Structures are given as C-alpha cells and as structure tokens.
Structure 1
C-alpha cells in the first residue's frame, strides 16, 4: 500500500511515517520500481505496535531505545521493562499534577462568589489603573 494508504490506516501523517523511517523507529520501507514506498500489512502491524507506546506517553527516544533493545533479543528484557517502569512513573507524576489542578479548580468553583469573583474584579481594576487597556484583551 502507498504511504497515503498507510497514513490513513494508522492515523499518522505521511510526514510522520517518513520521520519514523528516517530515525529507525520503523524499518526501511521497500520501494516500488517508480520509487514509491510500498507498505505491507506487517509494517502496519509494526507501526500499530509502536503507537501503543506513543499512546501511553512514552517519548520517541524511549520508544526507539526499546525497539533497539528488542532487536538485540531476549537478553534485554529487563532493560525494556525499566523503560516501561520509567514511563509509568512519568504518567503517575502527570496524574498527580492533574489531580492537584483539579483540586484547585474545585476550590475556585466552590469559592467563586466569595473569593475568586472579588479577586478577579480587584485584579482587573488594578490592571486598568496601571494603564492596561481593554483592547489588549481578546475575548
């Protein structure tokens, strides 16, 4: 299949597929006689396999490292597991941060009338007094 067909089947852009090939995340794609990339079903499966890592937030560099280790064989199992553990730790930090943001948003909603609204109006008043122009605000 062509690169545009592969892009459609994987949900990636043709540019992304070319980039993944260039950095070695996917193997070199065979070419037709006219020089067009010819993706096989197996290549699409490989791309889908790679996307699983991307979906959990694993950085491309870590995915590339995982792939390179996997190509070296079963002796790298533990190293690959460490990459997954590091990705999980990163996800947990993000979840903790998002939870903190959610708590702050809940606090602001709970105290909107009594605290946030007066603070907002006071801040806007100070801004206007300091020379902030209303036209600077895109609403």
Structure 2
C-alpha cells in the first residue's frame, strides 16, 4: 500500500475505491485485510465506481479465457497489431472505448455480439442486467 501512496494513487485515509474494486473482482479476503488495516467499516457499501465501469470489469473478467478465440473476430474493428498485443480482456475493453465502439450509453450492440459469438448466455444476462439498471 505504501507504493501506491508514494505515487499518490491511493491514501490510507481513502480506501473506499480499493475496497469496492476488491469486492467487484470477488477478492473478499483482501477486502477484509484492507478493512482490518483501515480499522473501520465507515463508508463501506458506498458506490464510487460508475455502474458502467463495474459492468465492463465484470464482462471483461468473464471473457479472459476466450480472448484468444475472440481475436479473429476483432481484427475488422481493432488494428491487427493491437489485437495481437492484447493479453487481457480489460485491455480489449479499453481499446474498444478508445475507438468508441463501446461507451456508457452504447454497450448493447457490440458487447451482445461478443457474448453471442462466444455462446455465453451468462454474459448476455450481465448486459441485460446493466441495461435494466441492476449495476446501479
């Protein structure tokens, strides 16, 4: 945690975003360690991360294993050199945002297409949940 403080990325007095991120990625044991370090549960449950960001993180974590098989589908949208360098699905989401293929008010078309291409009904459900406001 000191390295993050030194780089002014995180302060021990403001750990809410770290706690929320750890919850989003399912790392409750680390979440508890941070809460123990902090010595307080004040602010716990307060949403800091935008629903769109939470959904993108959730979606990306769901496709990490299939990223390699997805790369052929992406070459028509993302330059081949960039696609070749993608090692994590969250980086794919960043590239899609840079190209404005996805954005907070335009998630349905392309992400639904990815979910269908991968034959992943669970991802379709996540997108439907986002569109229904369940990430709020």
TM-score normalised to structure 1 length: 0.28
Q: Which structure exhibits the higher relative contact order, with contacts defined as CA atoms closer than 8 Å and separated by 6 or more residues? A: 2
Larger Rg: 1
Structure with greater helix share of residues: 1
TM-score normalised to structure 2 length: 0.28
